[in-house]
Each structure stands twice: as C-alpha cells, then as structure tokens.
Structure 1
C-alpha cells in the first residue's frame, strides 16, 4: 500500500489481538477496542508472547498498537474496520450499525465471522454502508495462518472487494476471493464436512476419536500442504474419483443436524480441552502442549 493505514479491530480476544498484530507488524496503525477492559488490557501481553515465540522483536510492533475503550473514538479516523466479536448475529449487526455512523464514509467495513453470511450481518445498514461491507475470514491463530477468505456480497462494491484483497496481500497474508456469500464460505465448509464424517464414524463405533486423528495426521493430512483435493483428484484421475464416489457416497453421513454424540457430550459438561474432556480426554498440560506444538509447526511452515 502507498501509505500507512488506520486499522481498527473490534474485539481483543482470541482472534482480534492477532489480527491487530499482523497490521502493526506491517507498519500500519492498529487500534484495538473491546467492551471488556480486562480483555482489552491483556492484548499487548498476548501479542508480546506471540512475537517472542516467533523470535520477532516486539517493541516496534507494540508501538503501532493503541488500545481504546470507546468504539466511536476508535473508528473515528479508520480506513479499515475489522469486527472480531463473538459469533452472535445480533451483536454483529448492532456493531456495524454503530460503526457505520461513527467511522468515515470511506472506511472499509469487514467482518471476521467464520460462518455467518455477510449479507445477514449487514441487514441494518444503509446502501452506502453495505457497499463497503465485506467478509474477511481469518484463521486461528491469525498471525500464523496465511489464509484470509475475502467474501463479496451482492451489495459489496468491486472496488472494496479488490482493495481489501490487496491490503491483505500487502501485509503478508494469502487472501482468496469468495464470490458468493454462502454460510461457512470455503474453508469451514470443507473442514466441517470432514468433521461430520469423523464424528459419525466414532458415533457408529467404527473407531475411537484418537484413531480419527491418527489416520488424518499419518495419511492424507501429510500431503495437504503440497497437494490440495482438486490436485489430488486430477492426480489419481477423475474416472477413479467417480468410481470411488459411487461406492462410498451412499454410506457417508449426510444428516442436516449436529451429531447426537455432540449433544450427549455437551449435556454431560464435556466441552473440549477447557473442561478436560470432549471427544478426547485432556489434562491442562496436554492441552497446552498441543497448542505449543501447533504454534511451532506453523512458525516453521511460514519460515520455510
């Protein structure tokens, strides 16, 4: 980009501080705002930890980050506003309504929702604001995972769509263009299709949850960084792909509701790592080790 941008991130939690870190590390002015002051004040500490883990000097990055408790003050001179609030559509709708009134009329409005259609998020906005609303779905952890899905609605202007893509590319991300605003966009639709079948196999007693993870990590998961599913289909040949589909598609899980296994686990208070049990059992140390290994793996991947 030709100049440093004023980027505002709404939400300092799981995703927000990492998104702000990316822009600050690229030399832009990043403002983080959050209604929870404790979460807001903790953001610099989390960013410092991220940078130390990456072996990056943190002072210059932190100098580009500002904390602001007032949403209106935060967005008053914004060029780009990225919402990273919890996945509640009413909350996001009200946030963008407030931002559209307080931010400059030229500011790009972006939502980091992972599954909610951007069109629904913008329902309360006037036409001019809807023209500036675009989806930017980052992946966790956002400072390490390259992909950002840029989602266009029927209202999003071509200029906003293209400029948002260019901004993300300029800060080192790998943006992709999503031309239709469908729930879950691309990545989560693919990921959760896999999850649905994986959970179904456990529910049907075909194998346990640990075996699912072993199979993925020790087989096709190893190929995915260099061989995507479309490349793989072409590699083995589309005739073979069609013949395999004829055999297994009729037996794949295609239910429209979450698995009864998830409902049963949740009813028992088994929420995942944070509760010590989900589909698998976790100690605090085991959960922390998985997170550490993931971060180191991603750092090595982007450094290679």
Structure 2
C-alpha cells in the first residue's frame, strides 16, 4: 500500500496549483502556501476546472488540498516542499532558508525553477539542508505534461535524488535524471536554442512570426512525439547529420544576449498574449482558444483509452 505523504506546494499560481493537483490526485495530503490570499483562494477553483476538463470528479481531489498563509504552519510536518514562486534567485534563496528552519529534518526541498541552477538557490543552506535540496522542474501545465526534470547538485544526497525520482514515478509522471546542475537543465536548453534561432529569423526578415509557427507545427514538430532528435540523427545517419552541420552551423544564430527585437517589442508594451501583441497579434478570444486547445490536446495525448 502506498504511503500517504504530506506535500507542501509554495506558490498557488500558474504552476503551483497544477503541481498540487498531481499530488492530491495520487491521494497525498497537500498544503498550498501563498502569501497572497486572493491567489490562494482561487487555487481550488483552478484545480476543479482542470479536473472538469479532464472529465474527472473534483470532490475527492479537493478533499486532499488545504490552504495556508503561514509558511511555518504550512511546512511543519511536510515530507516534501515544492517551491513554485517567481524566477528571482534572491527570493528562492531566502525562501528555502526559511523552509529549512521550519520544516522537519527529513523534508525534501525541491525547486521548480525553470532555469536557475539549483546550487545557486541553495547557497544560504547548511550542509544538511543542501543535501536535501533537489531540482524538480515540472512543465506547464504540470497536471498534464508528463516530464519532470530531477536535478541534482554536487551536494544532493543519492538517497534524496533517487527517492524524489521514484516519488514522481509513483505520481504517474515521466521523470528524468539530470546529473549536472547546468542553467536551464535539459528541456529549456533545447527549447530556447530553437527560440533563439526562430526570433533571429524574424528579426532578419527571413519570415514573419506566424510562418515560424507554421513551419514547426507542420513539419518536424509533428514527428517529435514519436521521434526524438537523437533517434532522428541515427535514422538519417550520422554521416548525413555531420554534412548538414558543416553547412548550417556557421550560419546559425549564436547570440549571447537576448535578441534586440525582444527589447523593441517590450519598449512598445508588447508583452505577448496578455497585452494583445507580442511576436504575433492576439485577440482575447484567440488567446483563450490557444490555451483551451492546448489543454484538450494534452488531455487526449496522456489519457489512456478504456479497455
């Protein structure tokens, strides 16, 4: 029989409520902490909406979720704490220093940062707490995307690294082990390498932003769920792969700073879907449709057909 754990999720926003949902769906007790009462109060509604989209009853899941505005109380008997706050190093460092003071000595300290090295996040921790600090990078939306990157530092204990991996497996996720603590880990390094080239192509006038999305979605993007890049390289052969690289690598974007196009757009107040304009123009209806269709397609891809 599965041991029921107490998971504390710090941050009730975009990622936090979805991570909490995964633990609660697996039958674990979950406390969500957020200092902002308004954000915290709507977290159960967001979880209920997710479950409704998935065709699941929300009652049993919501019964496992509790809300807290006091950090010390929230982590007092937690077996694992998952931090899902904004990407600010100083905030995360201080947060984990506080959690380490308040939580039991066995508590796994997990950060959901997307790109910040875990080692840097743990700089204020003592040796014992550093040994319990591990990265768990979930992907948005976390209740639907299977992957979680489990990141170890040179200080992370083998026991914490392995037990966190096994816990995520038990939650129905598809965890991978990241053995070196590099910025962006694996997925975001791959994703943003493509984004860097895509934005460069637009900034150089090769094509517009909509064309980039069309090319990705109507070509190699269709293969990616079934054929990863390493598989594809072996499929076409490493000799061809090498020849292609010899031609294209010298011409690829290798900027070490964000593309000036981003600054130009931001200076005009164009931040993306939220403001109605980013690299592409968006109505509220179009933005909502993208979010809805993404969720529905992910639900279809991860749900097992009934036997």
TM-score (norm 1): 0.99
Residues 107-186 of structure 1: matches in 2 within 5 Å? 107-186=107-186
SS of 1:82 mapped into structure 2: strand
Q: CA RMSD in A?
A: 0.6
1:207 is matched with 207
SS in 1 for 2:66: strand
Alpha-carbon distance between aligned partners in 2 of 1:27 and 1:2, rounded to the nearest angstrom: 9
Task: Report what 1:238 is aligned to.
Answer: 238
Write out per-residue CA displacement over residues 150-206 of structure 1, whole angstroms, 9 at most, x where no aligned residue: 000000000000000000000100000000000000000000000000000000000
Distance (Å, rounded) in 1 between the aligned partners of 2:237 and 2:122: 42
Equivalent positions of 1:5-154 (< 5 A) are: 5-154=5-154
Could you tell me how far apart the structure 2 residues matched to 1:96 and 1:78 are?
A: 14
- Tell me by how many angstroms 1:80 deviates: 0.3
Deviation at 1:303, TM superposition (A): 1.4
Name structure 1 gaps, 5 residues minimum: none
What secondary structure does 2:95 align onto?
helix
- Partner secondary structure for residue 172 of structure 2: coil
Structure 2 gap ranges (5+)? none
* Residue of structure 2 equivalent to 1:302: 302
Q: Partners of 1:119 and 1:303 in 2: how far apart?
A: 36
The answer to whether residue 5 in structure 2 is matched with residue 2 in structure 1 is no
Q: Secondary structure at the match of 2:2?
A: coil
Distance across 2 between alignment mates of 1:223 and 1:28: 36
Alpha-carbon distance in 1 for matches of 2:249, 2:198? 14
Which residue of structure 2 aligns with residue 256 of structure 1? 256
CA distance in 2, matches of 1:93, 1:301: 36
Output the CA distance in 1 between the equivalents of 2:71 and 2:86: 16
Q: Match for residue 189 of structure 2?
A: 189
Q: Distance in 2 between matches of 1:81 and 1:255?
A: 37
Q: For residue 277 of structure 2, what is the aligned residue in structure 1?
A: 277
Structure 1 runs (4+) greater than 6 angstroms displaced: none
Task: List per-residue Cα deviations over 1:111-145 (Å, max 9, x = no partner).
Answer: 00000000000000000000000000000000000
The C-alpha deviation readout for 1:18-62, integer Å capped at 9, x for no partner, is 000000000000100001000000100000000000000000000
Residue 267 of structure 2 corresponds to 267
Distance 1:290 1:16 in 2: 21
Deviation at 1:2, TM superposition (A): 3.5
The alignment partner of 2:271 has SS state of: coil
For residues 39-89 of structure 1, the C-alpha deviation after alignment (integer angstroms, 9 at most, x for no partner) is 000100000000000000000000000001101000000000000010000
The count of residues paired between Structure 1 and Structure 2 equals 304
Whole-angstrom CA distance in 1 between matches of 2:5 and 2:105? 15
